[in-house]
Structure 1
Amino acid sequence: MRFVLLMAEEGHFDKWDAADEATRQRVVADFEAFDAAVAGRGSVVGGEALSRPGAARTVRPGPDRPVTDGPFAETVEQIGGFYVIDVDSIDVAVELAALLPREYTVEVRPVPEVAI
């Protein structure tokens, strides 16, 4: 089963810019531990860091599909990155998500199979 792990943190980008080398190394070590743990229970399908919300564009609903600058919703928590993992269950996905850096709130969301 596939799951998307959305990693959010209040003030994420500013905190990362201000982080000292020890904090950055610990965060990278947390990501490496997560990757290794997922490999032992399933697979990482993909994942990326994201740019600041100001770089985003949002396509809005409506007949003319207006495009606005910025993310979908205004929030103090900023999504800084994501993973897509393939593991046996949501319980395993949640267990593995807890290995991600402690600064993040992690939303674990199943990815439905879509027949095309």
Structure 2
Amino acid sequence: MRFLVLLTEDDHFARWEALDDAERERAFADYRAFSGAVRERGSILAGDALHEPGAARTVRPGPERAVTEGPYAETVEQLGGFYLIDVPTLADALAAARLLPEEYTIEVRPTLEVEV
């Protein structure tokens, strides 16, 4: 089964910039632990860190499909990155997600696996 793993944190980008080298290394160790746990159970299909919310553009609904600057919702919680993983069960996805840095709120959502 495929799962989208979303990593969010309040003021993520400012907090990341404020980390010292030891704190960043702990976060990187957590990412490596997550990657290893996923690979033991399945595979990482994609994943990446995102630019700051100000770099986003949102295409709005309606016949004009207006484009606005910024993310689709104004919130303190910022989406910092994502993984698309393929593991056998939701329990496997959650077990791996628990290894990501503890500062993040993690959303794990199954995909419909629609071929595009």
TM-score range, shorter chain: over 0.9
Matched, 1:20 2:29: no
Matched, 1:89 2:94: no
What is the match of residue 47 of structure 2? 47
Q: Which amino acid aligns with 1:113?
A: E
Q: Using the alignment, how far apart are the partners of 1:22 and 1:115 within structure 2?
A: 41
Deviations 1:14-68 (A, max 9, x none): 0000100000000001001110111101100010000000000000000010000
Q: Using the alignment, how far apart are the partners of 2:28 and 2:36 within structure 1?
A: 12
SS at match of 2:4: strand
Deviations 1:55-89 (A, max 9, x none): 00000000010000000111111000000000011
Which aligned segments of 4 or more residues in structure 1 are displaced greater than 2 angstroms?
none
SS at match of 1:84: strand
What is the match of residue 100 of structure 1? 100
Give the count of matched residue pairs: 116
Q: Which amino acid aligns with 2:97?
A: A
Q: Which amino acid aligns with 1:53?
A: P
Gaps of 5+ in 2: none
What is the match of residue 114 of structure 1? 114
Per the TM alignment, residue 115 of structure 1 is displaced from its structure 2 partner at its CA by: 5.0
What is the match of residue 38 of structure 1? 38
Q: Which amino acid aligns with 2:106?
A: V
- Identity of paired residues, percent? 59
What is the match of residue 4 of structure 1? 4
Q: Which amino acid aligns with 2:94?
A: V
